[in-house]
Amino acid sequence: MLGIGEMGKRHAENLRRLVPEARLVAVADAFPERARQVAEELEIDNSYGSLEAMLERKDVDAVLIATPDKFHATAITMAARAGKHIFCEKPLALTLSDAQAALAAVARAGVRLQVGFMRRYDPAYASAMRRIEAGEIGEAVVFKSIGRDKDAPPISAFQANVNGMLFYTNTIHDFDLARWLMRDEVSEVHAHTTVAVRPEIGQYGDVVASVVNLKFERGAIGNVESYQQAVYGYDVRTEIVGSKGAIFVGTLQQTPAIFLSANGSTQNLADHFLTRFADAYLIEMRDFVHNILHDKPLRVSGEDGARALAIAVSAETSYLQAKPVKVPLECSVTSS
Amino acid sequence: MLGIGEMGKRHAENLRRLVPEARLVAVADAFPERARQVAEELEIDNSYGSLEAMLERKDVDAVLIATPDKFHATAITMAARAGKHIFCEKPLALTLSDAQAALAAVARAGVRLQVGFMRRYDPAYASAMRRIEAGEIGEAVVFKSIGRDKDAPPISAFQANVNGMLFYTNTIHDFDLARWLMRDEVSEVHAHTTVAVRPEIGQYGDVVASVVNLKFERGAIGNVESYQQAVYGYDVRTEIVGSKGAIFVGTLQQTPAIFLSANGSTQNLADHFLTRFADAYLIEMRDFVHNILHDKPLRVSGEDGARALAIAVSAETSYLQAKPVKVPLECSVTSS
Amino acid sequence: MLGIGEMGKRHAENLRRLVPEARLVAVADAFPERARQVAEELEIDNSYGSLEAMLERKDVDAVLIATPDKFHATAITMAARAGKHIFCEKPLALTLSDAQAALAAVARAGVRLQVGFMRRYDPAYASAMRRIEAGEIGEAVVFKSIGRDKDAPPISAFQANVNGMLFYTNTIHDFDLARWLMRDEVSEVHAHTTVAVRPEIGQYGDVVASVVNLKFERGAIGNVESYQQAVYGYDVRTEIVGSKGAIFVGTLQQTPAIFLSANGSTQNLADHFLTRFADAYLIEMRDFVHNILHDKPLRVSGEDGARALAIAVSAETSYLQAKPVKVPLECSVTSS
Amino acid sequence: MLGIGEMGKRHAENLRRLVPEARLVAVADAFPERARQVAEELEIDNSYGSLEAMLERKDVDAVLIATPDKFHATAITMAARAGKHIFCEKPLALTLSDAQAALAAVARAGVRLQVGFMRRYDPAYASAMRRIEAGEIGEAVVFKSIGRDKDAPPISAFQANVNGMLFYTNTIHDFDLARWLMRDEVSEVHAHTTVAVRPEIGQYGDVVASVVNLKFERGAIGNVESYQQAVYGYDVRTEIVGSKGAIFVGTLQQTPAIFLSANGSTQNLADHFLTRFADAYLIEMRDFVHNILHDKPLRVSGEDGARALAIAVSAETSYLQAKPVKVPLECSVTSS
C-alpha cells in the first residue's frame, strides 16, 4: 500500500480485515512515521518511507497506489518496472502524456493495472448497469450526473498543488460513469465553471462548481455537475433516460429516520463519500484481489483510466478556452 | 379567449368556473365550429372564427391568447391596438424582432400584458422562491432544471410548423425559472442536442432532447435539460444550490399510493402538465384577472417574456452554430 | 344543503361551481344569518333557518346533510318523509337504533341515501381498490390504517356535545376503509385509548388517541390508530398486506419542494383534510349527483353507513368495558 | 460462540474480523462437524460439539449464545456457573420461570449478561432515541411498530419446535423497542392473530400474523404488528408520536436505485434482517466486547430481556384466551 491518507487508510483497513484472499505485507508513505503508526494500528508487519524500498520485497505481488494525484503516473511506472501488479486510485494521471507513459510501462512489464473507479462496484450503480444491459430502458438518450461534496477542502489543499482541479478529483468519477453506463464514448464537452462564494481558489487554477455538457459518439447527450461545497450533504446522483424508461441512482438519506414537527419533516443526509460508498470500496478491493490471484480480467482497465482522463483534460480545456472541445478518442496504449 | 386547443380550453374552463372575478364573454378560434362547441359546452354566450371579430366587442376588457406560438406576436399587436389588456401563453414570440414589435404595440396602446409562465404560481416553486428571498440558501451558485414530457407530439405537429422548436415550447419555462429563482440574468448558453430515437423530426428543425449550459451575470452557473418523450412520465424538477443550503422542487408521484410485490415497490408517475400544474394554471388566472381589475402590477411582464425568449433564441443559435453564445441583455422594450 | 360549517361550505362550493349537473337552489342552517351570508357569497338564490322550510320547496330533489353528527339521523328521516334523495355526511348516526330508524324512513319513502365516506373517491384509494380487486396482492391478511389530525378541536367543541367521540368523527373513515378494501366484515374489535397530553377532554367522554385491533370474518386481522393532535401534520395512511404483495396509500408531503441545509432535508407536510382530500370531495359530489339524476346505484349506501357505525359503537364499548367486543353483523335495514 | 446458525455465524464473522478488541478462541455447535467447518473457514483455532467442553477452556472470558430459543436459558445458566460473561440472543428464554432461573444463576455467579436487542444499536433507532431524550417530540403518546419478514420459515422449522411462536421470535424486538423508546413499561396487551394463507402452522401453536394493542404505565398506547411472510420484502418500521412532534424510523429501500418505465417507478426492497441491520449487529458486538473488557455497564441487561419476554408471554396469553392481559411488572431478578 502506497499512500496512507484518508483513502489509502480505508483501502488498507479493508484489505487487512475484510479481504481474506489478500495479505497486506507492507505500507509505505512519504511520511515514514505515519506509515509506521498505521502499520502498528492495523497490525501490518512492515512500513516504509518510500515506494522504492517497499518494491524490493519479493513477497509483494501487487501495489496499491493512493498517493496524491500528481504522483500516480510515476508510481505506476516504478511499480510496473518492479514487476508488480497495480491498483491505482483515480485519476490515472494528470496529463494524457503521463497516462500514456504509465500505460506503456505497464504494457512493457506485462503486469496488470486497475483504476479505482469504485462506483462501478456500488450495488445501486451495478444494478442500474444490469438493467441497462438487459435492455430495460431501451436506447440511452440522456446521461445526467451530479457530484456534490459537503465540505470543500481547506485552502492548504489547493496550495499544496498535488491534486488536479475539480474535473480530475471529482468529475472524473462521472466521466467514467458516462462511458460505462452509456456504453459509448464521449466525443465533445463544454464547460461552464464558477468560483462564486470562494473566489480565492481561482488563483490555484481550481473552480468551486462546474457544469459540463457532453456529446456521445452515437448521438446521445448529457450533463455532469460538480460542486465542492454543497453544505447540506454528500450528494451523488445519476439519471440515465432511455427510449423505454429511465434509471435514477442515488439518494440523499443518511439513516432511515424521519423527524416530524410542526415545521415539517426532517431527514439526516449522507455527509461523506466513505459513508455512501463504503460497500463499493470493499467490493472493489475484493474483486481486484480475486482477479489478480486467479488471473482473471480486471474490471476497470488502465485504458478506462486514460479515457476518463481524456474527458477531464478536454473539460479543463473547454473551461480555459471558453469553447466546446472535442475529446481525443485515440488516446491510449492498450493495457491490463 | 383566443385559441381553444388543450391549453386554451383549460384556461377557459378555469375562467368560466373558478375565477369568480372574471366573466368570459367570448371565445374565438380559427376553427369556428370548435369555438362554437366549446362555447356551448362551457355555457359562454359568444363564439367567433377570428380575433378581429371578437375584438370589436365593447364588453371585452382583456384577451387571452392561447394560439399556436407562431401567431402570438401578431395577436398581441392586434389586441393592443384594440385597447385590450392581454394575457399571452409562452413564448411571447418566436423571434426577438417579433417580440419587440409586440411589446412596442403594447407600450403605444398603454395596455397591459402578462406572459404565461405559470410555474411561478405553482405552490412548490412559489414556496421555493420565498425561501430563496428570505436568504435561506445563501448565495445561489448552481441552477439545475429538468423538463421531461411523457409523450412526444405526433409527427403532424412538427409538419404543421406553427410552434417553435424544443427551446421555445418546453425549455423556455426553465429559462424563465432560471432568471426568476436566481434573481439574475443568463449571459451565455451552450447547447448540445440530439435527435436520437426520432431522427425524422430533424428535418423539421427540431430536436428530441437538449442540455443547455448556462452562465449567469453574477458568476453562477447552471444546466437545463429538456426531453420530449421520457416515456415514464411527466417529470419537471428544479434544484437551486446555494452557499448555505439547497432547494429541490418537483416530484414524480402521481397519487400517494405504492404497490409492493416480490419484484419491488411501484408508484404511478405523473403523466401530464395539466395534472402536475393544475393548481398553478388556476392561481395564475385568478391573479391576472385580479390585477387587471384592481390596476395592480402584473406578475410576469412582457419583458420577462422577451428575456426568456432571448435565452431560447441564443440556445437555438448555440445548437445551430455548435458553440457557446452570449445572450443579448438589452433585448426588449419595457412594457406592462 | 343543510349545515354550512367548514364541511358543508366546501360541499356547497363544489356543487355551485364544479358540479355542472347539479343546481344548488337553497342552503339552510340553524344560524339563518350564516345561511344568508353563504348564499350571497356563492350566489345561491335561497337561504333558510331550518330544514323544514327548505324541504317545502318543490324544486329540491335531493338534500345534503352536513350538520353536527347528532342531528344526522333526524335530518335523514325528515328529508326522506319529504320525498327527497339524501346525501349525509359521516357518521350516519350516533347510535345503531337511530341509524336503523333513519334507514327505515328512507326505505319507506322509497328515496335514496348516500353516506359521505369520501375516501373511496380519493384517486389513491380508488387505484388501490382496483389493484386489490384485480387480485394483485392475493388474499388480504393485514389491514392497517392511521388517521392523525394536525390540530385538535378547541375545548368548546367537546362542550357543545353535538358530535360523537373520536371513533365516530375520525376512526369511522378507517372502519369504512377496512370493510371496503378488505371486502370483508369486521367481526371483533378491541380498543386501547388515552387522554394523555389532554386529560381535560376525558370528562366529555372523549379520548385523544386510540388503537383498535380488528378481526375480520374470514380470518384477517388489522389495527386502526386515530390521534387528534399530531402537531406535525394531517396524516392519513393505509396499508393492506396480502399473500402476494401489499399496497400503501398515503403520503405526508404538502408540496413537492424539499429544503436542504447542513441540518438535513425538510419538507412541508399536509395540514388539513380539505387539502389532502380536495379532489375526493369533488369527485364524490359529482358521482352522487350523476347517479341520482340517472337513476344509477349510489356508491356508498346507507347500509355502509350503518355497518361502519356498528364498528364504531363496538369500539366505544370495548373502550368503556376494557375488553374485546363482537361487532353485530346483522345491524341494519337495507336501503338505497 | 455457541450455536453457528445464520445468526451465530454472522456474530462469529463480526467478532473474528471486525471487532479487534475481541479474540474468538472457539466455536461450539450441537453439530460438531458444522462447528469444525466454520472454525476452519473463519480461521478460529478450536471447535466443540458441546457447550460443556468449550466452557472448560480457561482462556474463554465470555460466551455468546446463538442457539435455538429453547436452549437459551439453560446455556446461560451453564455459562454463568462456569464464571463466564454472557451475550445471549433474544429471547432470553421462552418462559418467565426459565428467565428467572437464568437471571438468578447469573446473579449468583457474579457474571454479566447482555441480551441481543440489536435494534438499539441501529444508527436510525439510536438517533431517534437521542432526539426523544432531548425532548424534541415532547411527551410520547402513541407507539407503533411493524415487523414483516419477507419469507416465512419452512414448515420443518415449526416441526422442530425449538423456537417460540411469532411473539418470541419476531415481535419481541418491538416489545423491547416499545419499552426503550417510550421510556415506560407496557402494562397491558391485547392480541388478534391469524393463520390466514398458511393454516397448517396452527397445529404447531404458531400464527402467521398478529396485531398487539399496548397500554403503557403512564397512559400512552400503542400497537405492534408482526407478519411472517410479507413477500415484498423485509420491512421494519417504527413511529413514535408525541405532543410536540413525531419520529419515523425505517425505510423499505434496498439500494438507492429507481427504475422508471411507462408502468411507473420501481425500487428494490430490502429483503433480509442481516442486510437491514448489518451495521447494528457489528456495533452491538463491539459495544459488548468493549464494555466487558473495560468493566462498563452493559447496554441491554438481562432484566431488559426478562421484561420484553413478559410482554411476549402476555401477548401469547391474550391470543390463547382471547382477552386483554395485564403484563406482570415485577417479573425479574436484577442482573448485569
Q: Does residue A225 have a pLDDT over 50?
A: yes
From the first residue on, what is the mean pLDDT of each consecutive set of 10 residues in chain D (336 residues)? 94 89 95 96 95 96 96 97 96 95 96 94 90 92 94 93 94 96 96 94 95 96 95 89 89 66 71 77 89 92 92 94 90 46
Q: Cβ of B266 and D268 within 8 Å?
A: no
Q: Cβ of A269 and C252 within 8 Å?
A: no
User: In 3-state terms, what secondary structure has residue D190?
Assistant: strand
Which residues in A lie closer than 8 A to residue C263 (C-beta atoms)?
Answer: 266
- Find the residue in D nearest to B268 (Cα): D264
Measured CA distances, D235 to A268, B259, B330, C251, D168 (Å): 20, 14, 58, 17, 18
Which residues in A lie closer than 8 A to residue C272 (C-beta atoms)?
Answer: none
Cell of C241: 398486506
pLDDT band (50, 70, 90) for residue B255: low
Cell of C228: 387528534
CA distance D104 to D83: 13
**pLDDT: is D249 or C207 the higher one?**
C207
C123 touches chain D (CB under 8 A): no
A256 touches chain D (CB under 8 A): yes
Least reliable range by pLDDT among A79-88, B253-262, C137-146, C202-211: B253-262
* pLDDT average, residue stretch B202-226: 96
Tens digits of residue pLDDT in A191-206: 999 999 999 999 999 9
* pLDDT average, residue stretch A62-75: 96
C219 touches chain D (CB under 8 A): yes
Mutate which of A187, A214, A228, A231 to test chain B, going by most B C-beta atoms within 10 A? A231
D196 touches chain B (CB under 8 A): no
Predicted pLDDT of residue C336: 41
On the question of a cis peptide bond just before residue C91, with omega within 30 degrees of 0, the verdict is yes
A326 touches chain B (CB under 8 A): no
Q: Does residue A57 have a pLDDT over 50?
A: yes
B197 touches chain A (CB under 8 A): yes
User: Which residue reads 421470535 in cell numbers?
Assistant: D169
Residues near D255 by Cβ (< 8 Å), separated by ≥ 6? A123, A124, A127, D268
Please give the single-letter amino acid code of residue B139: E
User: Do residues D17 and A17 touch, judged by C-beta distance below 8 A?
Assistant: yes
Neighboring chains of C (3 or more beta-carbon pairs < 8 A) = A, B, D
Neighboring chains of B (3 or more beta-carbon pairs < 8 A) = A, C, D
User: Do residues D220 and D199 touch, judged by C-beta distance below 8 A?
Assistant: no
C260 touches chain B (CB under 8 A): yes
Q: Does residue A335 have a pLDDT over 50?
A: no
Helix (H) or strand (E) holding A94: none
CA distance D101 to D72: 11
Tens digits of residue pLDDT in A286-327: 899 999 999 999 999 989 999 999 999 999 999 999 999 999
Q: Cβ of C232 and A261 within 8 Å?
A: yes
- DSSP for C1-36? -B--SHHHHHHHHHHHHH-TT----EEE-SSHHHHH
Neighboring chains of A (3 or more beta-carbon pairs < 8 A) = B, C, D
Which residues in B lie closer than 8 A to residue C246 (C-beta atoms)?
Answer: 259-261
Which residues in B lie closer than 8 A to residue A209 (C-beta atoms)?
Answer: 141-142, 221, 241
Q: Cβ of C260 and A268 within 8 Å?
A: no
Give exposure, A294-324, as e/b (b: 16+ Cβ within 10 Å). eeeebbbbbbbbbbbbbbbbbbbbbbeebeb
* pLDDT average, residue stretch C51-77: 97
Predicted pLDDT of residue C256: 64
Among the partner-chain residues C232, C261, C269, the one whose CB lies closest to the CB of A232 is C261
How many other CB atoms are there within 10 angstroms of residue A44's CB atom? 20
Predicted pLDDT of residue C234: 86
Which residues in B lie closer than 8 A to residue C123 (C-beta atoms)?
Answer: 255
Among the partner-chain residues D230, D242, D245, the one whose CB lies closest to the CB of C241 is D230
Choose from A227-236, A252-261, D38-47, D252-261 the range with maximum mean pLDDT: D38-47
Tens digits of residue pLDDT in C280-306: 888 898 899 999 999 999 999 999 999
Q: Cβ of C255 and B131 within 8 Å?
A: no
D209 touches chain C (CB under 8 A): yes
- Find the residue in B nearest to D229 (Cα): B262
Residue D245 C-alpha, separation from nearest chain A C-alpha, in angstroms: 4
Q: Does residue C330 have a pLDDT over 90?
A: no
User: Do residues D166 and D228 touch, judged by C-beta distance below 8 A?
Assistant: yes
Q: Does residue B42 have a pLDDT over 70?
A: yes
Residues near A237 by Cβ (< 8 Å), separated by ≥ 6? A145, A146, A248, A249, A250, A251
Window 136-155 of D, Cβ < 8 Å to B: 150
Residue B139 C-alpha, separation from nearest chain A C-alpha, in angstroms: 7
Q: Does residue A84 have a pLDDT over 80?
A: yes
Q: What is the 3-state secondary structure (H, E, C) of chain B?
A: CECCCHHHHHHHHHHHHHCCCCCCCEEECCCHHHHHHHHHHCCCCEEECCHHHHHCCCCCCEEEECCCHHHHHHHHHHHHHCCCEEEECCCCCCCHHHHHHHHHHHHHHCCCEEECCHHHHCHHHHHHHHHHHCCCCCCEEEEEEEEECCCCCCHHHHHHCCCCCHHHHHHHHHHHHHHHHHCCCEEEEEEEEECCCCHHHHHHCCCCEEEEEEEECCCCEEEEEEECCCCCCCEEEEEEEECCEEEEECCCEEEEEEEEECCEEEEEECCCHHHHCHHHHHHHHHHHHHHHHCCCCCCCCHHHHHHHHHHHHHHHHHHHHCCCEECCCCCCCCCC
Q: Cβ of C243 and D220 within 8 Å?
A: no
